[in-house]
Structure 1
Amino acid sequence: MKAVLAFMFYWYCTCNFAQTQNTDSLRRILNNGQIIDTVRINTLLLLSEDLAYKDLDNSLSLAMEAIERSEALNWNEGLARSYRQAGIIEYYKPNYDKALNHLHLALTYSERSKNALLKASIYNNIANIYADLKEFDKALVYYDRLLKVAREANSEKDELIALFNIATIYTELGDYDRSLQNFFSSLDLAEKASITQHLPAIYNNIARTYQYMHEDEQALQYLDQGIAVAEESDNRYILSTLLRNKGELLRDANQFEQAELSLIRSIELSQENGSVEWESLAWETLSSVYEQQNKAELALDAFRKHIRLRDSIINEEKKAELIKKDLIFEKEKDQALYKAEIERQKTIRNASILGGGSLLFMAGMAMFFYRRRLHAISEKEKAEFKAKVADTELKALRAQMNPHFIFNTLNSINSFFIKNNREAASDYLKKFAGLIRKILENSEKKLIPLKEDLELLNTYFEIESRRLPDKFDHIFIIDESIDTENTLVPPLILQPFIENSIWHGIANKKDKGVIAIEVRKRKDTLLYVVDDNGVGRKPEKRKEMNRSMGMQIATNRIAIINATESNGGVKVIDKEEGLRVEIELPLTLAF
């Protein structure tokens, strides 16, 4: 009997710093009735992902609420991500027809949102369903689409997933040498890029391939590695598969007691996850373990449970219906794209005929006057700009080392010591010292990786939340197409704006507030957003905020950066409740 197949989903994360938000924190954010709509949708998806391995029904309910709210906003990317999450959960149940319907809708909305990596992840999930249905040729088509997009976008994570799933197909086709070659390439890539969440699935499928080759000792070695990683990360879904496969190997080695323990645990995890397919397979293997021990009654009972669950999963009629739906969807999509292209070409042709001549004339005149003016003032601007750079860089460090922030923090630490709460004081002091050390280290750097900057901001949030307990929650929302380790940003450019949100927006609010930090791509620029639902600015206070030293220095830094590389800047938007600050910077990559 063959071991359980494990394909890999593209694990989307609404924010790369989701690990800083536990389930209780996310629920508190959702319970805040005044939370802004896009933050609520992202929080719903974060919580749905957090529950996907633990409570499938609640996870699906959260995804469906995200769909409803995205529809109300007419937000294509939100709809694509929400339908994808719903498809993933239905796959886990497994309800393949519902999963495929959700994923096709996700694919449609992803095309409208122009998010290539989002579309690639949906290709992968659709391919997984066809692989489960043994439609390997169709699965390879979708995996090849994923691999193409991954390489074009230089996305190591997506390339890893594509290699892994293609290797899994080769295992199913019996091409074990080619399969292991791709699996070890994906393992090397996962370790190199620290993509640890995929390690359990890679270990599982390497073990599975060795098992097919009758090299059980090596298979058991990789299963144990996978189990250790899955337990550490609490990935119960893949853990149930690993334990089931280990039970099968132990049974073949006549280690029946250990096999029974492993399989019973696999069944328990499958029941917790609502994973009917994995539970069915575990009962089947356990039945054979009992049979070899001459425990006929237990063997029969286990086999009956396996048959009952197996028959509830999928039949040939459902399979035919899925394939039919897929063909209809592909045809309708091609027709829609064809019509859209005809309209686009017509619009371009008409615009070119009517406006081409006048545009050329105006452009020529504008260029002539622009060059004359530029030549006259360029030398003066260069001198002024250099002086401004030097002055602003010196002030930037002082702004980050805000004396009020340092004084208040030290007072808070001293208060803990006075109350004899040494453990809290020590923890607080470590965080504060770590933040100050990093600020000093980065004072000589113009750019640092986005991942490091977000970690610094998270530490700053933690320190401020200790001084203002139960006053606010914070959430990071990172565009999934952004590689946080390869993207470079000015260190702590957001800190003064966050400080303003905390002390002028949230601290004066009667109830608990929320501060959302968003990072998105906008063509060749990086968009930073600080969005709070605090008390906002009264009209008479708006000029006072603009004169804030920290914010003025940060604004000057941004102006200097954009003066040499892009046309970005700072935009402060007053909302009915709260404030939204948008900061646009040039998109800078390490390599």
Structure 2
Amino acid sequence: MRLVSILFSGFLGMMLFSGGAMAQDTLIKSKKASSSKMVRAADDLKKSLDVDDDAKIAKNYEALAQELIDKEEYAKAEEYLKKALASYNQLDQKKDKARVTRKLAKVQENQNKINSAIMNYQAAGAVAKDKDDEQLNLNDANRLRYDNNPAAQSAFNKRNIQLLEKENKKEEAADAYVQQAEMNLQQKNKEVAIESYEKAISFSKDKPEAVAKLTNKIAKVYELDNQFDKAIAINTNLLTEARAKQDFDTQITQLQSLATLYFKKDEPGKAVASLQQAYELASKQGNTAAVKKSLSQLLGYYKTHGKDKESIALYEQFFQNFEKLIQSDSALVDAKTFHVTEEKIRQLEKEKILKDELISKKNTFNYFLIGSIVLLLLFFGLIVKTLYSIKTKNKEIALQSLRREMNPHFIFNSLNSVNQFISQNKELEANKYLTSYSNLMRNMMENSNKDFVTLGNEIEQLRKYLDLEHLRFQDKFDYQIIADENLDIETTFVPNMIIQPHLENAIWHGLRYKESKGMLLLKFTLKKGKIGVIIDDNGIGLTKSQELKTRNQKVHHSRGLTNTKERITLLNELYKTNITFNVSEKITPETGTIVEINFPLLDRI
């Protein structure tokens, strides 16, 4: 008999392990996939990892953790809640972070990880969406700090019950009442504990499984208080309801609970009968865990009371139905399916981590590459800007140099004119000429560093210059300056010293050689947003002027025109203007030259 007991106990201990091995064949042969919620949750998680959808991954981690919480597998639930929290952190979803952090704290509390639970309750409160949720979490954190003081814990828990009832959070309110009942039991207040459990039931009416579990807790309170009849009445009532609903798992649980109560009440016949019913029902439903529990209790009773014949009969019956039991246990199939799915989840998580690392490295390299390109472009841009600045500065220097080139004929002939006036004892004319000459030279020097001057300033300068030349050649020409009345000569800007060289050419190479007295016209017009400058003389013309010139005069005239063209080119490049210049000879019967210069209308530089 002792050998039978040893063998029997060994097989009971190995039953679930053997079932796990045999369940693989069952899984392969099965035509129908498991309908377990936990298996479905694991499968959903696997699919979301497979498509790398971060939002769904976070949601499915949480869903799987919830299924594990419902099965009271808190260690695994904690693992998946941490992964869900990490995903929500990455997605920066604060509402989800607060909810999952609170769940994590509860799971850790159920595992007696008090310090971790306190930290997570505080973290949940820090990211809570409103003040009530924040206070709820802080109350739980403070409750756990008074782990050895049920009265203080009860006070914090009651505050939470008030908040939860106000917000109509039924599930959490039920949990809080369960906690309150456990604190009442610690304080040896069984009646208040039962009231708390009944309150929890009132918040769980839409969840029959939760109601049954809470009702069993009330029966346990009566059992602890040796009120076995009340406990038996509760379990019997639950058994009747389960039979009406054909809830076989609840029937088995209630039969086992009744057996325990009957043993304590010293009614072994009823206890054995309940265990036998539980065993037969568990065998029929393929519930190996329930079969193991029932058989263990029966074997213990038979062994204690020396009922060897009953033990052997039970042993033979068990082995006859063993294979059938294992093959029909959907829980084992679900466990194996979940195990296989979980392995795939682990592999997909590793692949995702590797993929994320590769993406991160690729992004880092891309950022480095982009940064390097940007730096190179900035460096290249700086070089271009520097070269452009140097080029612009060189153009400004060249323009200034060209502008400061004085016509040597003007200076030389002006001095000759003064000398001539003095030799002829025309002191008044010489003094007048020198005064005008000095004023003109002073103004020319003051404006020598300016690329543009007002039209009024330019006309005044040209008038002074023409006055000097007219004083020298008063019998050779007269002049006239006309400005369009639509031009505001005080606010309109023109290039400095562009016109003067052409007036000088008109006088010295055209009008000076004319036998009769000539006319020089300087005219400023406004047309289509442009200033037109016309220098019109009726001198001997370009052709005859070239015939009369000495070699030195030809070189000077050529340089004067070149200077003007170079300055116009530089002004157009530096200021993006469109200055045009043209020289033409008049056709008979009248001789002479016309110079046309067009400036854009500028009111500021």
Coarse TM-score class (shorter-chain normalised): 0.3 to 0.5
Larger RCO (CA within 8 A; separation ≥ 6): 1
What TM-score, normalized by structure 1, do the two folds share? 0.37
Larger radius of gyration: 2
What TM-score, normalized by structure 2, do the two folds share? 0.37
